Every structure is written in structure tokens, then in C-alpha cells.
């Protein structure tokens, strides 16, 4: 009678640089992940459902992430492991994406130490999440199974291979704080173009509102009117006629109401 482990094909890296490397994240492999998990081996044999039956070199942390997962295909388990990595190190990854080394120099010692530690962990975590596996051999058959796609980030036609570089460029080029841009990027379906446009539209509206309030306050003082009445009337005029500027609306208020 065969042992359960005999059912699995040993995965062996084809290139020396990947020997003893975790297939999921690129760290040093200390153990093996069985796909499907050993406790489900007989189930997949009997049902003949699709299963890879690979014995995969893995690090301890990735094995921990996969301990409750019952996926039977390599690609599925790669997705689970990477999703768990991204969630666990989300804070560190954000620090790495948002901060630049030159920005850290002006921080107080304790904060600088904390941010630097976050930068190191975030960089390592990004590399682990982005690790694309390696070419391997199993039972004498060579396989190329890289499940991480090369993502390109676009900022109004400019292409970037990493999110960090795209965020840095967009922040500097369009003068938006990184933390705010990151928040808008998430809110607008992970699109830099929409996020940037949203920021500047809001900024423009805010400036216009300030100018409107200042103009209405000056008008109210000059003509001894209630400022709330002036603002309500100007907004009413502008709503009725999209071609009116608030200066034109104030003049209309003067001609139609105050002058009479």
C-alpha cells in the first residue's frame, strides 16, 4: 500500500539560484506544501477532480498561511499565499509606497527609526508579493508556471512597472500629497487619472467657493445686505443659468433687486 506522500511529484527548481527557495514568495524554503493538502489526497484520487499533486518547497510563513486552505491547484494556492502576505503586511507596504528616503531625514529620531523599519519590511513584503515563482521539474517534466502577471501602472500615458514609482511620479507631477493620492486611487477604482482629476476638480471648486464667499461678503457690506441672502440669490441665479459667473450674478442681483 502506498504512502500518501508517494502520490506527490517533487518540485525541483531548474536554476541554481532558485534551489531551496519558497515557490510562493521567494524566501528560503524550510519545508514543503502539499497540493492538494495531504488530508484531501484520497478525496481527489477517488473523485478524480482536478489536482496537481505537487510537493512544493515553501517557507514556514507561507505554509502557515495555507494551513487551512484546501485548494488542489498550484495557481490557487499561490493566490491564497500572496493575498495573505499582502494583508498581513499592508501597513508596511503602505509606508514603503508613500515614503522616500530623503523625506525621512527630517523626522525626529524615534519616528525616523520607526519609518525606516517600516520601509525595510514594506520593501521586502512587496518583493515577496511580486515574486513570480520559477521554472521547475517534476517527474522529469519541465514546467513554466509563473502566476504573477507583470502589471503596468499608467499615469496619463506614462507607464510604470511598480506602483511605488507611479505614485511618486503622480504626486510630484500633479502636486498631490502621496497619502491623499493613495486614498483617491483606492476610491476611484485604482485609476491614477481619475484620482488626479478628482483631486483637482475638488481643489478648483474649493477655491471658487472661497472666492464666491469673499465676493458676496464684500457685496453685502457695500450694499448693506444680509450675506446669506446674497449667497442664496447668487447660487439661485447660477443654477438657473449655467453661463453666469458669480460676478455676473452679483451684478444681476444689484440691477434687479437692490438698485430698484
Q: Kindly report, residue by residue over 36-57, the tens digit of the pLDDT.
A: 999 999 999 999 999 999 999 9
Measured distance CA(11)–CA(9) in Å, rounded: 6
Contact between 18 and 144 (Cβ < 8 Å) = no
Contact between 52 and 77 (Cβ < 8 Å) = no
User: What is the crossing angle of helices 178-187 and 90-98, to 10°?
Assistant: 120
Q: Write down the pLDDT at residue 1.
A: 40
Measured distance CA(130)–CA(81) in Å, rounded: 12
DSSP 11: P
Q: Which burial class, exposed, middle or buried, applies to 45 when counting CB atoms under 10 A from its CB (0-12, 13-18, 19+)? A: middle
> Parallel, antiparallel, or unpaired for β 141-143 and 136-138?
antiparallel
Measured distance CA(35)–CA(12) in Å, rounded: 15
3-state secondary structure of 130: helix
Q: Write down the pLDDT at residue 102.
A: 78
Measured distance CA(52)–CA(58) in Å, rounded: 16
73 — phi, psi (to 5°)? Answer: -120, 145
Note the pLDDT tens digit of each residue in 177-223. Answer: 998 999 999 999 999 999 999 999 988 888 888 888 898 999 889 98
Measured distance CA(108)–CA(193) in Å, rounded: 34
88 — phi, psi (to 5°)? Answer: -65, -40
Q: Write down the pLDDT at residue 3.
A: 62
> Please, which pLDDT band fits residue 4 given cuts at 50, 70 and 90?
low
Q: How many CB atoms lie within 10 A of CB 183?
A: 13
Q: Write down the pLDDT at residue 66.
A: 97
Residue 243 has pLDDT above 50, yes or no: yes
Q: Write down the pLDDT at residue 133.
A: 93
> Please, which pLDDT band fits residue 12 given cuts at 50, 70 and 90?
very high
Q: Write down the pLDDT at residue 142.
A: 93
Contact between 41 and 9 (Cβ < 8 Å) = no
Residue 8 has pLDDT above 80, yes or no: yes
What average pLDDT does the segment 3-7 reach? 72
99 — phi, psi (to 5°)? Answer: -95, 150
Note the pLDDT tens digit of each residue in 160-179. Answer: 989 999 999 999 999 999 98
Measured distance CA(26)–CA(82) in Å, rounded: 11
Residue 23 has pLDDT above 90, yes or no: yes
Note the pLDDT tens digit of each residue in 99-134. Answer: 887 778 778 878 888 889 999 999 999 999 999 999
Of 26-30, 39-43, 89-93, 206-210, the least confident: 206-210
Amino acid at each position: 500500500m502506498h504512502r500518501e506522500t508517494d502520490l506527490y511529484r517533487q518540485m525541483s527548481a531548474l536554476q541554481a539560484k532558485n534551489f531551496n527557495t519558497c515557490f510562493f514568495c521567494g524566501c528560503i524554503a524550510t519545508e514543503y506544501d502539499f497540493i492538494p493538502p495531504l488530508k484531501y489526497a484520497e478525496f481527489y484520487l477517488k473523485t478524480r477532480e482536478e489536482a496537481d499533486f505537487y510537493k512544493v518547497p515553501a517557507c514556514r510563513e507561507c505554509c502557515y498561511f495555507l494551513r487551512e486552505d484546501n485548494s488542489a491547484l498550484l495557481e490557487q494556492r499561490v493566490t491564497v499565499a500572496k493575498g495573505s502576505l499582502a494583508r498581513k503586511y499592508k501597513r508596511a507596504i503602505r509606508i514603503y509606497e508613500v515614503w522616500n528616503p530623503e523625506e525621512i531625514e527630517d523626522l525626529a529620531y524615534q519616528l525616523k527609526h520607526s519609518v525606516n523599519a517600516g520601509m525595510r519590511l514594506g520593501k521586502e513584503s512587496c518583493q515577496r508579493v511580486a515574486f513570480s515563482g520559477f521554472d521547475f521539474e517534476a517527474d522529469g517534466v519541465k514546467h513554466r508556471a509563473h502566476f504573477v502577471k507583470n502589471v503596468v501602472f499608467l499615469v496619463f500615458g506614462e507607464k510604470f512597472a511598480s506602483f511605488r514609482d507611479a505614485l511618486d511620479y503622480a504626486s510630484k507631477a500633479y502636486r498631490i500629497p502621496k497619502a491623499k493620492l493613495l486614498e483617491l486611487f483606492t476610491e476611484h477604482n485604482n485609476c491614477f487619472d481619475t484620482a488626479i482629476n478628482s483631486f483637482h476638480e475638488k481643489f478648483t471648486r474649493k477655491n471658487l467657493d472661497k472666492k464666491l464667499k469673499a465676493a458676496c461678503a464684500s457685496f453685502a457690506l457695500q450694499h448693506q445686505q444680509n450675506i446669506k441672502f446674497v449667497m442664496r440669490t447668487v447660487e439661485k441665479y447660477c443654477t438657473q443659468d449655467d453661463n453666469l459667473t458669480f460676478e455676473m450674478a452679483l451684478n444681476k442681483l444689484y440691477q434687479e433687486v437692490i438698485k430698484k
